[in-house]
């Protein structure tokens, strides 16, 4: 198989060098950047399979990159931040993954391989934050719970650190079906975040 082509984006060159070494033979770094604008230019020039991007960089950081290029390639945010707000903003912007920089090298590679195949990936602790957000939304909502019973089951298992394969075995469904559930969950989250922004704009007279 051909290696996964990658653009590495962070304003710390030493960090980029370290990640490049950790990636190994299955990945090929085709571009590097230290600002959001440089990252977007690298993506448009090199058309990588995957972008590994820091959340906080000059010019808007990973959020701007995800908004601009999330439809063009798969973007994984790799950051020190474990704040719920940052995670939700990254997902809403179009990132397919959100991982913390403390992740061990072997786990990073496995998650990036999954992201390159189109699977949403995020750290188990961050999955718990997503679950908490849906619980909050379900309490606030006047209509139906935003998640189905099966989607809640899947997200709870993701939050416990289970792989898609393990979840499939536990729930007697295929790993692909698990992936589809996670994709639907993230899609619902983006929709709800957009609705909240629209409501905020209307309430504050922003057009």
pLDDT in tens, 52-72: 999 999 999 999 999 999 989
Residues 137 and 163 in one domain: yes
- Tell me the range of 28-32, 118-122, 124-128 where mean pLDDT is highest: 28-32
Residues 118 and 158 in one domain: no
Last residue of a domain, one of 122, 139, 163: 122
Strand partners, 77: 53, 98
Q: How far apart are the first and last CA of the chain?
A: 49
Residues 32 and 111 in one domain: yes
Confidence of residue 155 (pLDDT cuts 50, 70, 90): confident
Reported pTM: 0.77
Q: How far is it, in rounded angstroms, from Cα 138 to Cα 152?
A: 12
Residues 127 and 114 in one domain: no
Residues 139 and 112 in one domain: no
Residues 130 and 77 in one domain: no
pLDDT tens digits for 60-106? 999 999 999 998 999 999 999 888 788 888 888 889 899 999 888 89
Token digits of residue 125: 């602790």
């Amino acid at each position: 198989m051909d290696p996964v082509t990658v653009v590495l984006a962070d304003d710390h060159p030493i960090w980029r060098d370290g990640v490049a070494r950790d990636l190994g033979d299955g990945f090929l770094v085709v571009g590097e950047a230290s600002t959001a604008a440089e990252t977007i230019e690298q993506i448009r020039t090199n058309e990588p399979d995957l972008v590994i991007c820091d959340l906080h960089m000059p010019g808007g950081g990973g959020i701007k990159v995800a908004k601009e290029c999330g439809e063009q390639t798969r973007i994984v945010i790799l950051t020190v931040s474990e704040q719920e707000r940052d995670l939700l903003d990254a997902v809403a912007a179009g990132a397919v993954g959100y991982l913390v920089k403390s992740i061990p090298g072997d786990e990073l590679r496995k998650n990036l391989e999954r992201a390159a195949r189109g699977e949403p990936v995020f750290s188990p602790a961050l999955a718990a934050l997503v679950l908490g957000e849906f619980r909050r939304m379900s309490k606030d909502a006047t209509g139906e719970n935003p998640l189905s019973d099966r989607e809640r089951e899947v997200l709870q298992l993701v939050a416990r650190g289970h792989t898609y394969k393990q979840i499939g075995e536990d729930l007697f469904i295929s790993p692909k079906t698990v992936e589809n559930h996670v994709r639907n969950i993230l899609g619902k989250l983006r929709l709800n975040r957009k609705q909240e922004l629209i409501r905020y704009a209307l309430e504050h007279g922003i057009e």
